[in-house]
Amino acid sequence: MYNSKRANITCNMDLHSDINQPSSTVEHNSYNFRHELPFPTEIGRVWVDIIPLNINSHISHSYHYFNEETPPQLYSWTDIKAALDEPVLAIHSAQIGHATIKENCVDVSPPLGRGMSIIQHVDKFDFSPILDTSAPLEVVMLKISMSFLHRILGEDNTVSLLEAFDVKKCNSASSRVIPEHISAILYSINQCGEGFNDELKILHAEAKILEYLTQLVSHVNSPYVGKRSRKRNRLIHQLYDELLCIEGKIPPLDDIALRYGLSLRTLNDEFKECYGKPIWTFITEYRLDQAHKALKESDIAIKVLADKLGYSHVNHFSNAFKRNFGYSPGSLRSH
């Protein structure tokens, strides 16, 4: 339901380590570097703050702000290509906004949004961000070398982490729900106390990264998360893809669970563990979000839209829409 456009630029650079780029505006001090990245001014602005650290890792905080007159669209911005000295684990966590990363070295396009992180295990960066311009996007990214990860976590914990995220193989990527209280550790890295000099700021950032990693390992090694097999993970991701493709009335969840060979409670619990919401809540909110975009961007009749979404009566759709957004679909059209 979105328009999809692509910028005619390519960034063949490591956005997270190289500060000598003629195409970007760079401000820096001994604590961090700021790039203003090449981005079409008619769409908005993008910049990234980078904190280089002493523990074979770094943190970047990227900001994507779109002009008020920019229509909602999925904007395929550029290609990010960069060589790496060794394999890394990169975790992208969205503080606000939504995007998708199209991995060019493997055929996956994991989604990124509030509560949903993208995990990459790669020996080079080669991906294309697809930005949802309907809202600003802020992303914190941790990049840490695999050798350092093995050294601080140990072999068993590192393997557990990679298996839980389904990125054990180098040059793989996935999306996973990481609990908010864990992601919040990354978001707090820039919240240093007043009076911190640059050395203390870096020490603060490194301590937060170690706290984040220990919390992450504790989470994936918990009895519930750890017992899920890779095959079970694939089933849950298959269900996610299926739900996005269903048109019309949603089949009874009991029937879906039967086809997947699981009890409805197990299927629902594991779907929520992966995607942050129970199945019915997820698909209902997703469909209402798509309906909201369709009402803003097209002249489709509300009754036709309700039918396409499987509502037996347009009033049922209107009531669900108002419960979710706080206003009726008709009032959205009147603005």
- φ, ψ dihedrals at 302, nearest 5°: -60, -40
Q: Class assignment of domain 3-226?
A: mainly beta
What's the pLDDT at 148? 93
Chain centroid offset of residue 192 CA: 25
Distance CA 4, CA 293 (A): 13
What's the pLDDT at 20? 35
Evaluate whether the domain defined by 230-334 bears CATH number 1.10.10.60.
yes
What's the pLDDT at 199? 84
The residues spanned by each domain of the chain are 3-226, 230-334
**C-beta separation of 72 from 102 below 8 A:** no
- φ, ψ dihedrals at 16, nearest 5°: -115, 5
What's the pLDDT at 254? 92
**Which residues of the chain are under the pLDDT cut of 70?**
1-32, 192-194, 223-231, 334-335
What's the pLDDT at 181? 83
What's the pLDDT at 229? 56
DSSP structure class, residue 108: B
What's the pLDDT at 177? 79
Distance CA 23, CA 46 (A): 13
Q: Which residues contact 170 (CB under 8 A, 6 or more apart)?
A: 87, 121, 122, 123
What's the pLDDT at 158? 95
Distance CA 301, CA 312 (A): 15
How far CA 117 is from CA of 98, 101, 128, 175, in Å, comes to 10, 11, 16, 6
